[in-house]
A = this chain, B = another copy of it.
């Protein structure tokens, strides 16, 4: 494999790591802004999103160049195609972080709800799923990625529970319906973030297991 190509693959991996960290940070800050009622922090998430979008375009272009100029096959091709999909999933996670940040701004403009909902726990699980899936990609390791798939069920259960709690809240306090709706929106966005982390984990498993099956597995890091 030409040295230049190895370097290009490394740049691609580094860019996906950057993208992953930035998406993760966006989710973390959006939830922090919501729970601590800090609209300024939420506005920072909206700015971060622009850098994430620019990085997505850069990675897409890099993948197109790699495919056109090199002729990657087997494990390298699977790695590049996985990077392309993960890139798109991470950009979408950034979009969901923005949605949560918007809800955080709205929510901070009204009185906090007295009801206890499981959003902090959902957020912790979703963030762990995302970090683990990205680690699986970095190390091309399906065993890292696999637990992410089962965590997704926990998130779905929590999302349903949050919805039931907030429906009860709306029934008893219809005057604060907007605040309840913002938390429902946050819960659904966390559920989508967990779905996308699951997609990333599935891509990692496919990438890594196809390598094992074809006996050309090469650990790159």
Interface residues of A (CB under 8 A from B): 60, 63-64, 67-68, 71-74, 77-78, 81, 84-85, 88, 163, 167, 170-171, 174-175, 177-178, 181, 184, 188
Contacts and interface: CB of A to CB of B under 8 A. Distances in A.
A84 B63 CA distance: 13
B88 A64 contact: no
A74 B181 CA distance: 47
Question: How many copies, total?
Answer: 2
B81 A64 contact: yes
27 contacts: A60-B81, A63-B81, A64-B77, A64-B78, A67-B67, A67-B72, A67-B77, A67-B81, A68-B73, A68-B74, A68-B77, A71-B71, A81-B84, A88-B88, A163-B181, A167-B177, A167-B178, A167-B181, A170-B170, A170-B174, A170-B177, A171-B174, A171-B175, A171-B177, A174-B174, A174-B177, A181-B184
Contacts of A63: 81
Contacts of A73: 68
A13 B34 CA distance: 44
Contacts of A74: 68
Nearest to A174: B174
A77 B72 CA distance: 13
